[in-house]
């Protein structure tokens, strides 16, 4: 689980805005990109980010 403290220091790498924890993902409050959490570690990479559409497969 992501702690509140960690959540507060995380920011979207694209727009530097804060992110919200939404089920198992972090969602940017501004651009709404979704960042996955792998093994409890948030992956704040633009390459890994999902935009609004859900795409499990590419």
C-beta of 39: minimal distance to Zn ion in Å? Answer: 23
Interaction between residue 44 and Zn ion (CB under 5 A): no
Residue 10 as a binder of Zn ion (CB under 5 A): the answer is no
Residue with smaller CB distance to Zn ion, 49 or 57: 49
d(CA 58, CA 41): 23
Sites for Zn ion among residues 14-43 (CB under 5 A): 14-15, 28, 30-31
Distances (CA, A) of 15 to 1, 12, 35: 24, 6, 13
């Amino acid at each position: 689980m992501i702690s509140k403290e960690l959540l507060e220091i995380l920011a979207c790498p694209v727009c530097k805005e804060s992110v919200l924890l939404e089920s198992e993902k972090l969602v940017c409050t501004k651009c709404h990109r979704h960042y996955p959490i792998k093994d409890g570690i948030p992956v704040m990479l633009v390459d890994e980010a999902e935009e609004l559409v859900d795409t499990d497969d590419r």
